[in-house]
Amino acid sequence: MENRPEILYNMLTSFSTLSESLITESLPFWYTRKIGKGDFFNMQNVVCNDLGLVVKGMFRIYFNDPQTDEEKNIFFFSENQFIVSFRSFINRYPCAYYIQAMEDAEIVSISYQHLYQLYEKFPEWERFGRLLAELFFNYSQSRTEEFLFYSPEERYLKLVDEHPNIVSRIPAYHISSYLGITNPSLSRIRKRIAGAK
């Protein structure tokens, strides 16, 4: 990918104010991956070894219940978002869920080993790691609070706000799974919202 340094530079400077020289120092560690629709960034019960930046495409994080074989969507990630199973990544523990491409996707990745080399060498990269941890903690807490305090309709509106074109990109049943509702309930929500406009 010819514009890999530009993509990284833009994302890393906006996210953590890393200097151009520090980003340049890291460039040999980043590599591009193309992941086909339906293929996996990481598998359930496998340690997540990479931190990715989504350049193109959408991913879902989902849990496959071994008792019922039911898939439950937990998160969606799309362009200009970091993607990782953070707990697995930092603890070197098998991931509890799958991270799957829902479209043909491109990401730029760095391995756990290389990222920690940067942490050890540069305090500014350690700050990047702290900000990354805060980001994924906020994702996790926000997701929990959505189910405690938000109605399904409010959860849907928040999802569409975070991923504006998600409805046209993935099947409705994946959105229903994420919201914890049935497909007919999702249809009613969408009709209510369309009628209110």
- Is the pLDDT score of 2 beyond 50? no
Radius of gyration of the chain from Cα atoms?
Answer: 18
State the DSSP code for 108.
Answer: E
- pLDDT band, very low/low/confident/very high, at 149 (cuts 50, 70, 90): very high
Higher pLDDT, 64 or 59: 59
Cα angle 21, 27, 28 (rounded to 5 degrees) comes to 125
Q: What is the predicted pLDDT for the residue at 197?
A: 63
Q: What is the predicted pLDDT for the residue at 94?
A: 95
Euclidean distance between CA atoms 69 and 194, whole angstroms: 34
Retrieve residue 9's tokens.
Answer: 């530079």
Quick one: what percent of the chain has pLDDT higher than 90? 71
- Is the pLDDT score of 1 beyond 60? no
Retrieve residue 155's tokens.
Answer: 């959860």
Euclidean distance between CA atoms 17 and 56, whole angstroms: 23
